[in-house]
Structure 1
């Protein structure tokens, strides 16, 4: 079924689920089997060769997992999708399957810490050249791309400083030199932003975050052009970073409320960002929904909402961070983001724990920065909680 003309909330519920399930089940069955039996050898062969629909072995494909892949493809307007055991599996498998020794990657300095580690430490070991540009310097990005590259990797808004990249503009430059363009859309979610509509080839999600929405399951998703998905699938088939059907079911269930949660989190995050922006103990606030934010105008053009994540820098350094966070009630001091409950922490323990303090400093991430992932709690209670915490700063 074509979901291109339906609203996102409808696609979140129905995409991948319009066919009848086993014994008339109205919810997606969890198909916990390793292998699939065939009575006819010729049919088995045709499925194994990919000439007809079907499943052979759950490391490769599985009916429950396939529903999830159809769902994210519909939400992002993609030709196809593939799932992974984690978000980092999605990122690493995508890069390692599309790149080869001698290739060149152009990306940005503000990408997620695990992604940065791949760029800074692992790809160079395979003789893959990586150039990281200042994230919001579009001229520098275009200049490096114009020198020639094979893959451009983007993230917008970025983790953790919420910088915004003009995806359409950079994609145009990348396409001019024949580069594949990959974009991490985890922070925005498909409710707020659809990079494929802006020309991006492949879109990555850590579905562990907003898509699943309850901090109880890990999953990575990649969607985009069919021929590229097929190439990554062939690598993941052998690499083995497959998604278990139990995990797929939990992500599917979480996605049914995706639009409701995102809309609530958009509204709350903007209100909290405005509160923090006027607080005397806050040095700076990073949120593209603020009119004063450098990326606000671009965000307004390519996003439908500004997301449920913000970050802010305190006056007084890391001690101020500890004093604030240790005196708040309605927040989990924990890694991850995009949950129904509010999560917060400094990059040194969350997004960029893999990097040293010096590396974080080079990326412009100070030790007084807090990443704050807004849940679905009442926003008045969250602001009151912040006020109480600030009394101890």
Structure 2
């Protein structure tokens, strides 16, 4: 079914589910079967070789997982999609499938800590050349691209300092040198931003976060150009980082309320950011919805909403952070983000726990920083909670 004429909220509910399921069920069944049988050997061969639709083995494809892949494919306006057991599975499989010794990656200093580890530690072991640029120095990034590049890896807004990258400009520069542009769209979600429409070749998500929305299932998804997706799929097929039916079902179910949740979280995050910016115990607030944010104009041009994540620094440094966070009542002090309940924590225990304090400092991440993932609670209650905790430190 062509969803191009319909809104994203409709696609979130119906994509991958326009046909009735077994016995007329109106929700996708959780198909746990590892393997799928065929009476006709010729049909079996056609499906196994990709010349006919169907399922062979759940490490490769699965009907329940396919529903989720269709939802993200349609919401991102992609030709094809595939999925993984985790968000890091999506990132690592994409990079290792598309790169080989002698290839060159250009990326940002501000990326999720797991991705940073791949760039700093793992890819160099395989003789992949990695250049990390200052995230908002677009001239410098274009200069590095012009030297020759095979893959440009971007993240916007960045985790955890919410910097904004000009996707249209950098994707165009990458195309000039034949580089593939990959964008991590986890923070923005397809509700707020569609990188493929801005020139990217591939877009990935940690589906564990906003897509699922309930902190009860892990997964990753990748979508974009069909030829590239096929290459990554073949690598994942052998690598084995496959998404299982149970979490795929939970993520797809969560996506049915994606637009409702994101609209609420967008509005609440902006209100909270404005409150914190005026507070004397807060030294800095990072949120692209604030007009004072350095990337606000670019974010406004390429995003339809500014997201449900913000971060802020306290004036008293990390010792004050240790006093402040436990005093919050309506926040889980836990890793992850994008849930219906508010989650918060410092990068040293969340997004960049894999890095040393020195490495975080080099990436411009202060120890006094708190990443705050806004849930769907009443925003006035969240502000009261913040106000009470700040008064006690």
Residue number in structure 1 paired with 2:309? 309
Unaligned runs of 5+ in 2: none
Q: Distance in 2 between matches of 1:46 and 1:129?
A: 40
Partner of 1:29: 29
Q: What is the RMSD computed on CA atoms of the aligned residues?
A: 0.4
- Cα deviations across residues 330-386 of structure 1 (Å, max 9, x unaligned)? 000000000000000000000000000000000000100000000000000000000
1:329 aligns with 2:337: no
State the SS of the aligned residue for 2:285: strand
Structure 1 unaligned spans of 5+: none
State the partner residue of 2:204: 204
Give the SS at the match of 2:181.
strand
For residues 301 and 109 of structure 1, the distance between their equivalents in structure 2, rounded to whole angstroms, comes to 23
Number of aligned residues:
393
Task: Give the drift of 1:3.
Answer: 1.0
Hey, what does 2:390 align to over in structure 1? Answer: 390
Q: Which secondary structure does the structure 1 equivalent of 2:327 belong to?
A: coil
Q: Which residue of 2 aligns with 1:92?
A: 92
Provide the rounded CA distance (Å) in 2 between the counterparts of 1:392 and 1:344.
Answer: 18
1:20 Cα deviation after fit: 1.8
In the alignment, the residues of structure 2 paired with residue 140 and residue 5 of structure 1 have an alpha-carbon distance, to the nearest angstrom, of: 39
Task: Summarize deviations over 1:202-234 as a string: whole Å, max 9, x none.
Answer: 001000000000000000000000000000000
User: Residue by residue, what CA displacement relative to the aligned partner does 1:270-300 show, whole Å, maximum 9, x if unpaired?
Assistant: 0000000000011100000000000000000
Q: Which piece of structure 1 moves more, 147-156 or 319-328?
A: 319-328
Q: Deviations over 1:21-48 (max 9, x none)?
A: 1111100011110000000001000100
Match of 1:231 in 2: 231
What per-residue deviation string (whole Å, max 9, x for no partner) do you get for residues 36-72 of structure 1? 0000001000100100000000000000000110110
* Cross-structure match for 1:132: 132
Return the alpha-carbon distance in structure 2 between the equivalents of residues 308 and 229 of structure 1.
29
Q: What CA distance in whole angstroms lies between the structure 2 residues aligned with 1:17 and 1:210?
A: 20
Partner of residue 290, structure 1 = 290
Q: Distance in 2 between matches of 1:54 and 1:185?
A: 30
Aligned mates of 1:383, 1:201 — CA distance in 2: 40
Shift of residue 4, structure 1, vs aligned partner: 1.5
User: Superposition pairs for residues 57-72 of structure 1, below 5 Å?
Assistant: 57-72=57-72
Could you say what secondary structure the match of 1:91 adopts? helix
Tell me which residue corresponds to 1:52.
Answer: 52
Q: SS of 1:183's equivalent?
A: strand
Q: In 2, distance between residues paired with 1:323 and 1:348?
A: 16
2:9 counterpart residue number: 9
2:367 matched residue in structure 1: 367
After TM superposition, the score normalised by the length of structure 2 is 1.00
1:70-117, Cα deviation, whole Å (9 max, x unpaired): 110000000010000000000000000000100000000000000000
Q: 2: distance between equivalents of 1:259 and 1:316?
A: 37
